[in-house]
Amino acid sequence: MIELTGLSRRYVLGGETIRALDAIDETIRSGEHLAVMGPSGSGKSTLLNVIGCLDRPTSGSYRLDGREVAGLADHDLARLRRREIGYVFQAFHLIPRMTALENVELGMLFDGVARNERRERAVAALERVGMGARAHHRPGELSGGERQRAAIARAVVMRPRILLADEPTGNLDQASGRAVLELLDALHEQGLTVIVVTHDPGVARRAQRVLVLRDGRIVRRMPAVELRSLDEALAGAVP
Amino acid sequence: MKSLDVFALAWHALIAHRRRSALSLVGVSIGVAAVTLMTAIGQGARDFVAAQFQTIGADVIAIVPGRVETSGAIPGVGSAPNDLTLEDARALVRGVPGVVRGTPLVLGNEALEWRARRRDVLVLGTTAEMLELRGMRVSTGSFLPAGDWERGSAVIVLGAALPAELFPGEEPLGRNIRLGDRRLRVIGTLAPRGTHLGVDLDQAVMIPVATAQSMFDTRSLFRIMLEVSSASAVPAAQRTARDLLTTRHGEEDFTLLTQDAVLQSLDRILNVLSLALVAIAAISLVVAGVGIANVMLVAVSERTREIGLCKALGATERDVLSQFLAEALLLCVTGGIAGLGLGSLATRVLAWRFPAWEAHAPQWAVVGALLLSVVVGLISGAWPARRAMRTEPVTALAGRRA
């Protein structure tokens, strides 16, 4: 369970303070499938980064399964990122000089998993996303959809409980995007908490619940089935 | 993260940028090679000079006229030094306990002639004791006759190179040969000895000291050499000899030389020289380090996204730090080992080209050069690695240069 209380993230940019997140209060249940929407600059990516321990809140509280995360040291944050949280990025972020298999192994490397076990688990993870045959290809030799599937394999190989995806289909064509979304759905069904940041209502509708952000605040919470378009959601928002 | 994995990953990254890695590697290896080569040259020079002086013998005292040490007197003022004479030499041999043998030495240059052949040679006027004292060996015939030093018989002993040069295909023994305006009978030839203190003994001739004195019209000696029973008896003999000669001359107008003293002062000079050589070589290693630091900085900013990703995947700051340190270290150690190979190759070429030099890098230099390259790696990697460590994952993933 993710509990955010009065969570704020401010940047100082050119002498001006930007409130990327402004006193967010929200609870996300374990096993929930959540979509976060909003116009660009609304703070939805920042929210995902703070939840993923990639960014630290300026103030407020972030409790993960009852444990306060905001003040943790680098070592403990790294362990959370390693074991509890998986990421999928819009730009895939695979290391180009490594094969898909080696990319998937990377997280286990940081966790000190032995070489043989690493290989086994990476192969299994790639097979689960239908990439078993492409394991020894470098990212440059893979299509966008294949790269994102390899990235998903990397995100889940440490068996995290939370999967965070930032515009996972943003760089993909329709068919590859659908395959990636089906993978995320399947992972949710296996019990993962899945949080997807998107501006695409078609993606958001696959979730259970939608948060709509504007100017660093949550302006609307709604069941995903009620979502028709982002503009409509924003229009109906209570500021 | 396991340290083996750290190095495997670092190696992976270096291979991926092999051209850049190779260039840094070349820098380090040249630096290390320079250090080993320079130490080898320095060591070779020391060995060479030391070997030259060692032949004085640890148990030999040499007495030369004049005071060598700095004194308070204004140069030119005060009495001129007395000559060293044959009587001085005899008195020293008789009067200093522990002296086994001694010999006077007169030095000069003269033309040696046999039929149409003529050659300028170094003339050593000395006595029979010289043979034993300097460890020389006779090849044919005999050395200078033992007995009265004052008796200037007309005999000559030739250095090893001279028979072949002056008497090609002939037997020199028994021939009357012209040295300056004298006719001398060849009574012996010496075994090869080689260059010694800049004097090529193979090209020199030996004649009785009295003959030399009358030939060069001098009573003074170039030096007196005393052989003491053992090296440990040298200091005591040195004191007695100094007192004895001071009494005879009325003042200390001579200098006593021992191998120890000469070697010590030489050693000081050569040490400074070797250090200077090594320091110059070490500068090239530092330059190589700067090159590596530069390459690593480029690598860090180039791989900002990768660093962000690694952090997102759960790498700790320490993991990132050790990752880049390991890369710098691998570069330097590989470069260092290549440099040792290069250095020993260069040393071998040197030894082959100048056999007398006997240049070889001492063990401490080899280990030291390798250690130095490790230190250079750590220092030049530290700053870029710290920058990498401090990179915030969010900024890094956004691809912004922190």
Closest partner residue to B316 among A55, A78, A109, by Cβ?
A78
- Does B68 map to a domain? no
Closest partner residue to B394 among A49, A106, A107, by Cβ?
A49
* SS3 state of residue A142: coil
Is the pLDDT reported for residue B170 higher than 90?
A: no
Considering only alpha carbons, which residue of chain B is nearest residue A157?
A: B313
Q: Rounded mean pLDDT of A135-142?
A: 95
pLDDT for position B272: 86
Residue B55 pLDDT grade (very low, low, confident, very high; cuts 50, 70, 90): low
Q: Are residues B294 and B340 in the same domain?
A: yes
Q: Are residues B211 and B98 in the same domain?
A: yes
The token pair that represents B101 in the structure block:
């043998």
Q: Are residues B270 and B245 in the same domain?
A: no
Is the pLDDT reported for residue B127 higher than 80?
A: yes
Q: Which residues pair with A189 in a beta bridge?
A: none
Query: Whole-model pTM?
Result: 0.68
Contact A78 B393 (CB under 8 A): no
Q: By C-alpha distance, which of B126, B132, B120, B125 is closest to B103?
A: B126
Percent of all residues in chain B with a pLDDT value above 90, rounded to a whole number: 27
Angle between helices B259-302 and B304-312 (to 10 degrees): 80
Among A44, A110, A138, A161, which would you mutate to test the B interface (most chain B Cβ atoms within 10 Å of its Cβ)? A110
Q: Are residues B184 and B132 in the same domain?
A: yes
Q: Are residues B240 and B378 in the same domain?
A: no
Looking at per-residue pLDDT, the higher value among B388 and B56 belongs to B388
Among B218, B252, B286, the domain-final residue is B252
Looking at per-residue pLDDT, the higher value among B296 and A32 belongs to A32
pLDDT for position B75: 47
Q: Are residues B96 and B243 in the same domain?
A: yes
Residue B207 pLDDT grade (very low, low, confident, very high; cuts 50, 70, 90): very high
The token pair that represents A161 in the structure block:
């409980």
pLDDT for position B401: 38
pLDDT for position B271: 83
Q: Rounded mean pLDDT of B132-136?
A: 84
Look up the ipTM and state it.
0.90
Q: Give the range of the structural domain holding residue B209, as residue numbers without chain letter.
A: 82-252
Among B252, B275, B309, the domain-final residue is B252
Residue A133 pLDDT grade (very low, low, confident, very high; cuts 50, 70, 90): very high
Q: Are residues B94 and B238 in the same domain?
A: yes
- Does B72 map to a domain? no
- Does B317 map to a domain? yes
- Does B66 map to a domain? no
Count of the separate structural domains present in chain B: 2
Query: Which of A230-239, B249-258, B288-297, B365-374 shows the lowest per-residue confidence on average (mean pLDDT)?
Result: A230-239
Is the pLDDT reported for residue B128 higher than 50?
A: yes
Contact B319 A110 (CB under 8 A): yes
- HSE-up of B306 (CA within 13 Å, CB side)? 18
Q: Rounded mean pLDDT of B111-122?
A: 90
Chain A environment of B305 (Cβ under 8 Å): 93
pLDDT for position B154: 92
Chain A environment of B317 (Cβ under 8 Å): 74, 78
Q: Rounded mean pLDDT of A151-159?
A: 94
Is the pLDDT reported for residue B348 higher than 90?
A: no
Query: Which of A95-109, B31-45, B75-89, B238-252 shows the lowest per-residue confidence on average (mean pLDDT)?
Result: B75-89
Q: By C-alpha distance, which of A219, A213, A222 is closest to A46?
A: A213
Q: Are residues B171 and B306 in the same domain?
A: no
Is the pLDDT reported for residue B345 higher than 80?
A: yes
Q: Are residues B138 and B231 in the same domain?
A: yes
Q: Are residues B178 and B274 in the same domain?
A: no
Per the listing, tokens 């070589």 go with B281
Q: Which residues pair with B204 in a beta bridge?
A: B122
- pLDDT tens digits for A23-70? 999 999 999 999 999 998 899 999 999 999 988 899 999 999 999 998
The Cα of A158 is separated from the nearest Cα of chain B by a number of Å equal to 10
**Across the A/B interface, how many CB contacts are shorter than 8 Å?**
66
pLDDT for position A62: 95
Q: Are residues B138 and B180 in the same domain?
A: yes
Distance CA A113, CA A124 (A): 15
- Does B22 map to a domain? yes
- Does B62 map to a domain? no
Q: Rounded mean pLDDT of A168-173?
A: 91
- Does B258 map to a domain? no
- Does B76 map to a domain? no
Q: Rounded mean pLDDT of A121-128?
A: 94
Q: Which residues pair with A24 in a beta bridge?
A: A7
Contact A110 B1 (CB under 8 A): yes
Q: Are residues B200 and B270 in the same domain?
A: no
Chain centre to alpha carbon of residue B62: 22
Among B223, B252, B281, the domain-final residue is B252
β-pairing, B155-158 vs B182-190, is parallel
State the average pLDDT for chain B.
84
Is the pLDDT reported for residue A230 higher than 60?
A: yes
pLDDT for position A98: 93
